[in-house]
Structure 1
Amino acid sequence: MATSKEMTSGRPFPLIFNFALPLLLGNLLQQTYSLVDAAIVGQFLGINDLAAVGAGTSVVFLILGFCNGCCGGFGIPVAQKFGARDYGTMRRLVSVSLQLAVVMSVVIAIVTSLFCADILKVMRTPETIFRNAYYYLLVTFIGVPCTFFYNLLSSIIRALGDSKTPFWFLLFSTVLNVLLDLFCILVLDWGVTGAAIATVISQGVSAGLCYFYMMRKFEILKTTVAERKFQTSLARTLLYIGVPMGLQFSITAIGSIMLQSANNALGTACVAAFTAAMRIKMFCMCPLESLGIAMATYSGQNYGAGKPERIWAGIKASGWMMLVYCAFVFVVLLLGAKTFALLFVEASELEILKDTELFLHISVIFFPVLGLLCILRYTIQGAGYTNLAMLSGVSEMIARTLVSLFAVPAWGYFAVCFGDPTAWVFADLFLIPAFIYVYGKIKRIVPPSVGVATVA
């Protein structure tokens, strides 16, 4: 039988580290999906198809980011009620979140699929890669329910202090994804569409495994008929926290779409370099995201237990972990960026290799800024102040928009490389005073009452 774990007592450093480690491995595996797709496409299908996979990356982040943000937000009230030991309300929240997920994921899948072609046209996708980019994006959008449910179920399991179970299911589906990629591309000759199909199937399998395991093994989640009934008040609580978190990702992605649109206009070679660099960067960002997600659960449980002083202790512990990792990844990317780029393109593609290396070298310098962003943003979200976290996404959007409109036309791809770092700086300038404000408030309040979300 699976067990839940409280993080409301004990030393923060080992608690956060032990919780974040399997979460990190799971995130690395999730990013492996993207790496495998891009690497196999780039090596077996060529530069144009690699560019087609990457042409809509920021749009995928816009849609899937909203879904993942909502899922993370739905897990926060669950973590708070678990920390407060209000298990009845916790189970009702889980049931309502699953019902909301069905409706939201299906609606999102239908709407985005209908407007897929229009989105790519607005982003100035080159004609040479438009058709393949369309099919890749369309399959990804159709598979939104698979992604939504995996992330929701993982968020619920993590809210109970178990970050290991989702990892094992994700490990299985990652291996499945690699095998299906090779089968769909090399055997069935489905091209980039096959890569998208392989990813969607793999995520669907992972979601199914999570659901059946969670319902069979977690005794604390066994519900009665009354607890499974839809409750409007709890739905409002979930949406009031989840939707701002989803919008935070989407607002951030709007800036990314503008940046990618500006980069798309620079030509296929720049799109291919951007695609390869983004895949590598996202992989290297996983430890920072994992620390942040761990802090959301840690913060939510300790807020629910009425122990705000432990939240500050967790900030310091995760900050030290973040700095050590940033020093490590700086050395790795400084020396090995070009080697990693060779996973996606042939050694003869000198311009693409050079641009990929430049992007990674600039990005890694600013990783400590990104690490602070992840820790503060997720901590604020864990305490229920999701509106403030959403506003930090607005800061990122403004920064990327300014770079896209003014810097890229003047300095080209070099300015594209500074798009994300500029956004991270803007976000931190907002999040630092925001956290000071939030911490001052949570030190003076009692844990939230049953069924009521605490937001700014």
Structure 2
Amino acid sequence: MNGQLSHRHAHKFRLGGSIDMLTGPLLKKILLFGLPLMASSILQLLFNAADVVVLGRYASYASLAAVGSTTAIVNLMINLLIGISIGVNVLVARYLGEGDKQKELSEAVHTAVAVALIGGVILGGIGCATASWILELISTPEDIFDLARIYLNIYFLGTPAIAVYNYGAAILRARGDTQRPLLFLTISGVTNVALNLLFVISFQMDVAGVALATVISEVLSAVLVLVSLMRSQDELAFSWRKLRIHRRSLSLMSKVGIPAGIQGCLFSLANLAIQGAINAYGSVVVAGSSAAGSIDGFIYVSMNTFHQTAQTFLSQNIGAGKYDRVKDILKKCLLCTVVTGAILCTVACVFSQPLLRIYNQDPAVVAAGTVRLYIAVAPYIIFGLADVLTGAIRGCGSPVRPVVINLLCTCVFRLLWIAAINTDTMPVTWVYASYPASWLVLLIALTVCWLRLYRRKIRPHLMPD
């Protein structure tokens, strides 16, 4: 079959509600894949934002600041584990593209779930044990320190569920099924919002209430994705009896996933330094930055959709030997990113104050958040383009290069930038400016990397024998 799907396989995937990524026009299929994924990501953020909104409206800006100040810490602790889900997605998509890989696919599915459970327990424990130390390290303001610690200790209890959902969703998305992850998030997210209102308004549980609601909803989404895999009738079916770690699957996942996880951790480490600098300006600025960060998160995940789309489409097509589709996939994903980013960045900047008032009515908090939105959101398209290139490079089987580039152009760059800032004399705008400056450097470096990779790994397959 020369690495291509058999007719039987392709028919089965269509019946399963998945997308044939190997033939036909690309833009429609990219949108069919990407829009449900985008909706899933936006829903996930909406439900996470519910934590912040409920606290900001029904508790205090100190509670809002406490939860917002933990974002970089949470990301730092779970990104290495969640990064493996990228390896799961790439590996499963590559096997599906090659065809006739039933045994390998089954091993990959069961290895992924086993790693999610074990790794989630380990990292959750580490997160709980180090929460206070990290909060002290980033100079969390004293008036929100205890609230932030309570939130972290409860949140990390849900780390295994976060991992299971993300790994399971990565498996489904590898064959083009983005509808079921969207459904699962909708169900768990509605549950999260309802429990937020119950715990915070009725039971007066403050940050502990939103953390507990988050953990319960994460467990629900993990159960739903596992049940979906258990009911599957193909090689992606999951069975508890087969649960184990297969060395080959773990090795192949890790080659992509660990570099991706390290990259995520490095991003979070740099952002942790930025959060530490923001903390120096007081809890009002922290609260405003937290609200603005929640808003720019919607733009990020919307554009990141096409990072994941490029990664999955390229993995399947390269697995099937269809190198002639590589350039067109990248062009379409970049176009979708630019259009999405342009629309959302404009909306965020034009309606900045009404959007921020959703989180908190305090004029000082709104003013502080507006500053961050104008500086960090307006040029967000730059990062969107860089993110798609990162996904494309991974999808082409080169997972280490993006890590090195992000380490130098984002993490080291931001750390040096923050180290040069004197928070006693310089305004917070200098802190926020580290974001667009690093994105521009990152985009240039990734563009050079992609062009070299394309010439070396893709173009030779397009030349006539």
Q: Same fold (TM over 0.5)?
A: yes
Post-superposition offset of 1:97? 1.6
* In 2: Cα distance, 1:153 partner to 1:433 partner: 34
Which residue number in structure 2 is paired with residue 249 of structure 1? 264
* In 2: Cα distance, 1:431 partner to 1:218 partner: 40
Which residue number in structure 1 is paired with residue 53 of structure 2? 39
* In 1: Cα distance, 2:306 partner to 2:105 partner: 24
Q: Which moved more, 1:306-315 or 1:222-231?
A: 222-231
Which residue number in structure 2 is paired with residue 166 of structure 1? 181
Q: Contact 2:19 / 2:29 at 8 angstroms: preserved in 1? A: no
Q: Contact 1:259 / 1:403 at 8 angstroms: preserved in 2? A: no
Q: Contact 1:248 / 1:392 at 8 angstroms: preserved in 2? A: no
* In 2: Cα distance, 1:352 partner to 1:229 partner: 49
Which residue number in structure 2 is paired with residue 62 of structure 1? 76
Q: Which moved more, 1:62-71 or 1:333-342?
A: 62-71
Q: Contact 2:81 / 2:116 at 8 angstroms: preserved in 1? A: no
Which residue number in structure 2 is paired with residue 388 of structure 1? 401
Which residue number in structure 1 is paired with residue 11 of structure 2? none
For residues 107-139 of structure 1, give each alpha carbon's deviation from its aligned partner in whole angstroms, at most 9, with x where no partner exists.
111111111110100010111111000010111
Post-superposition offset of 1:255? 0.5
Which residue number in structure 2 is paired with residue 450 of structure 1? none
For residues 180-214 of structure 1, give each alpha carbon's deviation from its aligned partner in whole angstroms, at most 9, with x where no partner exists.
10111112221101101111111110111011012
SS of corresponding position for 1:342: helix
The correspondence for 1:413, drawn from 425, 428, 435, is 428
* In 1: Cα distance, 2:306 partner to 2:68 partner: 27
Q: Contact 1:23 / 1:290 at 8 angstroms: preserved in 2? A: yes
**What amino acid sits opposite 1:38 in the alignment?**
V
Which residue number in structure 1 is paired with residue 88 of structure 2? 74
The correspondence for 2:110, drawn from 67, 89, 95, is 95
Which residue number in structure 2 is paired with residue 424 of structure 1? 439
* In 2: Cα distance, 1:223 partner to 1:335 partner: 47
Distance 1:283 1:330, change over 3 A: closer
Distance 1:341 1:229, change over 3 A: closer
* In 2: Cα distance, 1:134 partner to 1:119 partner: 10
Does 1:364 find its partner at 2:377? Answer: yes
Does 1:284 find its partner at 2:280? Answer: no
Post-superposition offset of 1:228? 5.7
* In 2: Cα distance, 1:13 partner to 1:301 partner: 16
Post-superposition offset of 1:441? 3.0
Post-superposition offset of 1:6? 2.9
* Count of aligned positions: 444
Does 1:373 find its partner at 2:386? Answer: yes
Q: Contact 1:58 / 1:253 at 8 angstroms: preserved in 2? A: yes
* In 1: Cα distance, 2:132 partner to 2:62 partner: 18
Post-superposition offset of 1:404? 1.5
The correspondence for 2:123, drawn from 108, 111, 117, is 108
Which residue number in structure 2 is paired with residue 435 of structure 1? 450
Post-superposition offset of 1:408? 5.5
Structure with the bigger RCO (C-alpha within 8 Å, sep 6+) is: 1
**What amino acid sits opposite 2:375 in the alignment?**
I
* In 2: Cα distance, 1:66 partner to 1:230 partner: 18
Post-superposition offset of 1:96? 1.5
* In 1: Cα distance, 2:311 partner to 2:234 partner: 23
The correspondence for 2:149, drawn from 123, 128, 134, is 134
* In 1: Cα distance, 2:240 partner to 2:125 partner: 31
What is the root-mean-square deviation in Å for CA atoms of aligned residues?
Answer: 1.9
SS of corresponding position for 1:221: coil
User: Structure 2 unaligned runs (5+)?
Assistant: 1-14
Distance 1:89 1:445, change over 3 A: farther
Distance 1:87 1:438, change over 3 A: farther
Post-superposition offset of 1:415? 1.2
Post-superposition offset of 1:218? 4.3
**If the length of structure 1 is used for normalisation, what is the TM-score?**
0.93
**What amino acid sits opposite 1:55 in the alignment?**
S
Aligned pairs for 1:286-365 (under 5 A) are 286-346=301-361, 349-365=362-378
Q: Contact 1:380 / 1:386 at 8 angstroms: preserved in 2? A: yes
Distance 1:239 1:357, change over 3 A: same
Distance 1:54 1:230, change over 3 A: closer
User: Structure 1 unaligned runs (5+)?
Assistant: 447-456
For residues 227-261 of structure 1, give each alpha carbon's deviation from its aligned partner in whole angstroms, at most 9, with x where no partner exists.
76642222211122211111110011110000000
* In 2: Cα distance, 1:289 partner to 1:247 partner: 18
The correspondence for 1:191, drawn from 206, 210, 229, is 206
* In 1: Cα distance, 2:290 partner to 2:237 partner: 44
The correspondence for 1:13, drawn from 4, 27, 48, is 27
Q: Contact 2:117 / 2:160 at 8 angstroms: preserved in 1? A: yes
For residues 376-410 of structure 1, give each alpha carbon's deviation from its aligned partner in whole angstroms, at most 9, with x where no partner exists.
01111222211112123312112221231113535
Q: Contact 1:408 / 1:416 at 8 angstroms: preserved in 2? A: no
Does 1:219 find its partner at 2:255? Answer: no
Does 1:234 find its partner at 2:244? Answer: no
SS of corresponding position for 1:26: helix
SS of corresponding position for 1:392: helix
**What amino acid sits opposite 1:13 in the alignment?**
L
Post-superposition offset of 1:12? 1.5
